[in-house]
Amino acid sequence: MNEHKILILLALLSFMCSGVVMAETHRIIPAVQEMQVGRGALLLNSSVTVSYVAELENEATLLAKYLDEDFNIHLEKSVDIEGVIDLCIDTDFQSNSKEGYELVVSDEKVKITSSTAVGVFYGIQTLRQLIVKDKERWSIPEVYIKDYPVFSWRAFMLDEARAFKGKEVVFLLLDEMARLKMNVFHWHLTDDQGWRIEIKKYPRLTEIGAWRDSTQIGGYRGATYDGKRHGGFYTQEEIKEVVAYAAERHIMIVPEFEMPGHESAAIAAYPWLGTTGRQIDVPCRFGVQYEVMDVTSSRVQGFIEDVLDEVITIFPSPVIHIGGDEVKFDQWNASTSIQEYMTRQGIETPADLQIVFTNRISHLLQQKERRMMGWNDITGNKIHEYNTEADATAKEKLADGTIVQFWKGDLDLIEKTASQGYDIVNSYHYKTYLDYDYQKIPLEKAYEFDPVPEGLPKDLKKKILGLGCQMWGEEIMDNDKMYYQIFPRIAAYAECGWTLPGRKDYFSFLKPLKKLKMVWKTQGLMK
Q: Is 326 a catalytic residue?
A: yes
Q: How far apart are CA 456 and CA 287, in angstroms?
A: 32
Q: How far apart are CA 380 and CA 397, in angstroms?
A: 8
Q: Is there a contact between 185 and 159 (Cβ–Cβ < 8 Å)? A: no
Q: Select from 233, 242, 296 the least CA-distant residue to 265.
A: 233
Q: Is 389 a catalytic residue?
A: no
Residue 17 CB: number of other CB atoms within 10 A?
A: 9
Report residue 176 CA to chain centroid gap.
Answer: 12
Query: Phi and psi (nearest 5°) for 90?
Result: -130, 110
Provide CB contacts within 8 A for 333, sequence distance 6+.
339, 350, 391
Q: How far apart are CA 375 and CA 50, in angstroms?
A: 44
Catalytic: which of 192, 262, 391, 495? 262
3 state SS of 25: helix
Q: Select from 271, 80, 274, 245 the least CA-distant residue to 167.
A: 245
Q: Please give the angle made by the CA atoms of 110, 115 and 117, to the nearest 5 degrees.
A: 75
Q: Amino acid identity of 1?
A: M
Bridge partners of 36, per DSSP, are 144
Catalytic: which of 191, 352, 391, 495? 191
Q: What is the DSSP string of 297-339?
A: -HHHHHHHHHHHHHHHHH---SEEE--------HHHHH-HHHH
Q: Is 415 a catalytic residue?
A: no
Catalytic: which of 176, 326, 352, 435? 326
- Catalytic residue annotation: 191, 262, 326
